[in-house]
Amino acid sequence: MDLVRDLPLDQLLLGDCVTLMRMLPPASVHCVFADPPYNLQLRGELRRPDDSLVDGVDEDWDRFADFPAYDAFTREWLGECRRLLRKDGTLWVIGAYHNIFRIGAILQDMGFWVLNDVIWRKSNPMPNFRGRRFTNAHETLIWAARQRDSRHRFNYQAMKALNDEIQMRSDWFLPLCTGPERLRNQHGLKLHPTQKPEALLHRVLLASTAPGEIVLDPFAGTGTTAVVAKRLHRHFIGIERHPAYVEAAWGRIRATERASEGAVATMPTRRDVPRVPFGSLVERGLVPPGTQLFDRQRRVSAVVAADGSIAAGAVRGSIHQVGAAVQNAPSCNGWTFWHIEQDGTLVPIDRLRGEPAA
């Protein structure tokens, strides 16, 4: 099989995702968002009282003979995603109780490192027609790093800003895709049974990618990932094996405007900050010897020495060691614990890492 040398950026590829992913070069994408078949077949609770299936879930793409067949397919596509991800890349998989636990176990067995499971709580879920179990009102997203020692991207500040300056939690309350966003065929029926809301992808891509990075969606469906990627200035590669979905997705992508350049710039994350020892801030005059450092509440202070160590009373050592000692804690991130006074306000020394010399 030929290996594609230039990545098919901002393209939708028509065909089987495993076959097509095998043609792409390794370690080439920053993020994968996968919304795989749910393996919903023959589930009675998904039938309406007249025995029709809700939401057209009897699509061909959702049929697997049994759990082993589904697991074998899962191993194939997850294995290819893992090969294509860069070392610091992350994978998102969305699913429901039918499949997400199987997928979670398989991806852990492969060496992916789970960072979060996010609950997408639906504000307008489908009712349970038979009344024999709870209304299923959520889906689960697994967010995983390629491997345990990945330095994955998390745009913490962007997530906080999106949530009115409160840390973003792992339970997301968002509506299903409805209204004008929902694609419909000429009879007014839903074009795709599981079109995801753009708001969900907005949060996913804003949290875990930067402008210019590459997002792969191996089960592109109606192109929701591609649409949001384009809007947010990320590159996409989508794969979908149903021609009608690819056609609909292209229409959507073409109709999508990119946001203005300035609107998608995200605040730098800790990962973007150069890794420097504290001593280099002292050498560069950003924190001169003799400077006093404080914790956020000014309960403790320490004095900076010329060699980059700090002293709080009789305790001397690195910013991390002294930070841990004064709190009686096993460890401490001195970069965020210690603050310097600038114009009457306390600023974490972390902020000085990206600054030019004094």
Ligand X SMILES: C[S@@+](CC[C@H](N)C(=O)[O-])C[C@H]1O[C@@H](n2cnc3c(N)ncnc32)[C@H](O)[C@@H]1O
Which residues bind to ligand X, rule: CB under 6 A? 16-17, 35, 37, 61, 192, 194-196, 219, 221-222, 224, 239-242, 245
CB 304 within 8 A of CB 310: yes
Going across the sheet that includes 301-304, the strands are: 315-317, 310-312, 301-304, 292-294, 339-342, 345-348
Identity of the residue numbered 296:
R
CB of residue 43 vs ligand X: minimum separation in angstroms?
15
CB of 245 to ligand X, least distance (A): 5
Instruction: Write down the least CB distance from residue 307 to ligand X, Å.
Output: 55
Angle between helices 67-84 and 100-110 (to 10 degrees): 50
Residue spans of beta strands (DSSP E) within 78-224: 85-95, 113-122, 138-145, 171-174, 214-217
Query: Between the CA of residue 277 and those of 35, 165, 325, what are the distances in Å?
Result: 41, 30, 19
The answer for residues whose C-beta is within 8 angstroms of residue 321's C-beta and 6 or more apart is 315, 332, 334
Smallest gap from residue 226 Cβ to ligand X (A): 9
Q: Radius of gyration over alpha carbons of the chain, in Å? A: 24
Nearer to ligand X, 240 or 295 (CB): 240
Q: Which two tokens stand for residue 14?
A: 């028509």
When the beta carbons of 20 and 293 are compared against ligand X, the nearer one is 20
Shortest separation between residue 61's beta carbon and ligand X, angstroms:
4
Closest-by-Cβ residue to ligand X is 221
Q: Which is nearer to ligand X, 208 or 222 (CB)?
A: 222
Which CB atom, from 64 or from 338, has the smaller least distance to ligand X?
64
Measured from the CB atom, is 89 or 221 closer to ligand X? 221
